[in-house]
Amino acid sequence: MSRTTVLHLLTVIDAAALAAVAADRALGHEVHCVLLHDAVYALGTDREPRCDRLSAGADDRRRRGLPPTESAVEYPAIVEAMARAARVVSW
**What pLDDT is attached to residue 3?**
83
Q: What is the pTM of this model?
A: 0.93
CB 42 within 8 A of CB 69: no
Helix (H) or strand (E) holding 5: strand 5-10
pLDDT per residue as tens digits for the range 3-60 = 899 999 999 999 999 999 999 999 999 999 999 999 999 999 999 999 999 999 999 9
Q: Which residue has the higher pLDDT, 1 or 25?
A: 25
What is the set of domains in the chain, with CATH numbers? 5-90 (3.40.1260.10)
**What pLDDT is attached to residue 38?**
97
Whether pLDDT at 2 is above 60: no
pLDDT per residue as tens digits for the range 59-88 = 999 999 999 899 999 999 999 999 999 999
